[in-house]
Structure 1
């Protein structure tokens, strides 16, 4: 295997590694555990609302930190070092969920926030490598390859954990609760082990910049942050795309984070919820690559439009969700568009980013994706708490997709590419 292919596969393998967190912790097992075990004493739909607020707190922290991280990584040329740090942070927070028991919803929220900061912070630097290992011809494919690997890896561990949770006696485990707690540890181990190829094969810095004293590092990072705000506004099409992405990814992130606990609230069983989300993973594998082909035919921008139209329909269907079959259908449709929308968004952003500012501007992409996870879960949680039903919360998510499409229509991609080249 040549060096370029090895590097690309190592990069994609990190998506395989950390997607175990996205599937088991973020999307399926932990939300159910949060409602049924950690939040067992909470009345009505408060557990669902508190889970939404937990998402908001985690995302507020990482949204404010990630641009600093991106600028700092670009200045120090240390993306790989930062990636390792956040992997270890995420793995530690995930493993600590093993110790959460009945009624410990605050402890569950705290450990999840630590883990999610690790997950999100690591993605800032992972995304920053994309422009280093690809060119304008391969970026759509490589970005989609990462998402496909993530669906496969995350789906595989989710399948293992579904068996573990549904048949704990096969593994000599005393209860379903214990099986779920053990599943949290499997995520931590999986994430760490399959991150090792990225640690080994992703490119080292091409040059070493001058080291700065630790006591000046924060000052330099904040100075770079201020500079980034000024610089990114000069790239008008890139900036307009960020605004659109911020809106529609808010909707995508809300569905990822709230779908399972919402399904549990309306009475769908644990096995159906986990099984349906497993379907999402495996449907997502071919469709992440299919959307790359679609982008080649109709452009990435139109591919994103297609995904967002489908997402809008998902929110309306979700309002009327009434059975396990409905949830399975929705899960399959989400699998068709989730990876495609995110992969094409990342690659479309990448072709409008100046190469010399990749880490810095992908730090801003990290900000966008993190801020895009703040408002949606808050709106969902507050709407559900206010009305006493989360059905109105899922309906409100449609607004983010509609507004996102409106702002995306204002982006001139070809002009954005020229702006990046003529930096």
Structure 2
């Protein structure tokens, strides 16, 4: 998680460097879409290894069961995948902004950089308001992404264990595949209606999904919910990133601003999952927690209404 989220913060910070403001919604959406495509390709390959290990020459022996060995090999393929595609990124991406002088106390200075960004937010009222809205609704988005599979495992009547396992795998694939389409559609909508208005509508759709999830019982219900989550998940992630990028002040140090953006998101995850767990514990049902998360999307909508559109089409 440390490696993934650090890389994601740096990855996000490249957006202002590789695209003009009017291009950023489409480029952000394309980035997430290609990420989902890659994850689906590798996931299907790894699932094939686990489900048909004999086809890949993986057999059961004294070292262990074929399926378990296939799972272990899957981790290796993930590592190879990261290394290969990282080389492509390293070759083509700009080298970025590097401060002069020797760097010391890197971890402590990282917190100082975040503090400097916080101080600058005092002068960037619109950006600060947007970050507040993002913090609230992202708290719910990230929590849903983390607990979706667990919710499906505990609350849905799958039948046998194998049917439950296959059902959850199919659900993950559905979310990833539909998210490709969702990110693209949301970018097109923002081009026509503006970023803030589109984000408000997407949050409203999340509220509807939370209400629907409360009544989900059968596997088919869960597949429908997974498809709806995928549609708005890709869209809200891609558009949130590009909207933040457009609101940034003129600066070469975009990494510090996007690090602040990601830190806000991670704090939201901690709070969101904690509240989800508390509500589930108090009520004895994860369904009540899903409805509770819907309130954060509702609050996010109202906070977005406070973010005024600038002269640029946001």
TM-score where L is the length of structure 2: 0.88
8 A Cα contact 2:114 2:259, kept in partner: no
Distance in structure 2 (CA, Å) of the matches to 1:179 and 1:327: 28
**Compared with structure 1, are the counterparts of its residues 156 and 390 closer, same or farther at alpha carbon in structure 2 (3 Å cutoff)?**
same
**Equivalent position of 2:38 in the other structure:** 153
8 A Cα contact 1:162 1:275, kept in partner: no
1:349 to 234, 244, 254: 244
2:114 to 187, 202, 225: 225
Segment of structure 1 superposing worse, 287-296 or 179-188: 179-188
**Equivalent position of 2:130 in the other structure:** 241
Distance in structure 1 (CA, Å) of the matches to 2:263 and 2:222: 31
**Equivalent position of 2:161 in the other structure:** none
**Equivalent position of 1:212 in the other structure:** 102
Distance in structure 2 (CA, Å) of the matches to 1:374 and 1:168: 38
2:201 to 306, 311, 318: 306
Distance in structure 1 (CA, Å) of the matches to 2:50 and 2:114: 45
Instruction: Report how far residue 217 of structure 1 moved.
Output: 4.1
1:203 to 80, 94, 101: 94
8 A Cα contact 1:162 1:271, kept in partner: no
**Compared with structure 1, are the counterparts of its residues 225 and 309 closer, same or farther at alpha carbon in structure 2 (3 Å cutoff)?**
closer
For 2:16, what is the secondary structure of its paired residue? coil
Distance in structure 1 (CA, Å) of the matches to 2:96 and 2:225: 44
Whether 1:262 aligns to 2:151 is yes
**Compared with structure 1, are the counterparts of its residues 379 and 158 closer, same or farther at alpha carbon in structure 2 (3 Å cutoff)?**
same
Instruction: Report how far residue 125 of structure 1 moved.
Output: 0.7
**Equivalent position of 1:182 in the other structure:** 73
Segment of structure 1 superposing worse, 260-269 or 272-281: 260-269
Whether 1:126 aligns to 2:15 is no
For 2:99, what is the secondary structure of its paired residue? coil
2:269 to 366, 373, 376: 373
Q: 1:26-45 alignment to 2 at 5 Å?
A: none
Unmatched runs of 5 consecutive residues or more in structure 2: 60-64, 159-163
**Equivalent position of 1:138 in the other structure:** 23
For 2:95, what is the secondary structure of its paired residue? coil
Distance in structure 2 (CA, Å) of the matches to 1:181 and 1:309: 41
**Equivalent position of 1:79 in the other structure:** none
8 A Cα contact 2:33 2:179, kept in partner: yes
Instruction: Report how far residue 189 of structure 1 moved.
Output: 2.4
**Equivalent position of 2:212 in the other structure:** 317
Whether 1:282 aligns to 2:171 is no
Instruction: Report how far residue 218 of structure 1 moved.
Output: 4.7
Unmatched runs of 5 consecutive residues or more in structure 1: 1-115, 419-423
Distance in structure 2 (CA, Å) of the matches to 1:279 and 1:243: 31
Distance in structure 1 (CA, Å) of the matches to 2:154 and 2:69: 22
Instruction: Report how far residue 137 of structure 1 moved.
Output: 1.6
CA RMSD of aligned residues (A): 2.1
**Compared with structure 1, are the counterparts of its residues 324 and 213 closer, same or farther at alpha carbon in structure 2 (3 Å cutoff)?**
closer
TM-score where L is the length of structure 1: 0.67
Cα deviation 1:62-84 (Å, max 9, x = unaligned): xxxxxxxxxxxxxxxxxxxxxxx
1:192 to 83, 86, 90: 83
Cα deviation 1:260-314 (Å, max 9, x = unaligned): 1111112431111111220121122222112111111111112112211111111
For 2:167, what is the secondary structure of its paired residue? helix
For 2:310, what is the secondary structure of its paired residue? helix
Cα deviation 1:10-69 (Å, max 9, x = unaligned): xxxxxxxxxxxxxxxxxxxxxxxxxxxxxxxxxxxxxxxxxxxxxxxxxxxxxxxxxxxx
**Compared with structure 1, are the counterparts of its residues 229 and 270 closer, same or farther at alpha carbon in structure 2 (3 Å cutoff)?**
same
**Equivalent position of 1:20 in the other structure:** none
8 A Cα contact 1:319 1:391, kept in partner: yes
Distance in structure 2 (CA, Å) of the matches to 1:213 and 1:284: 40
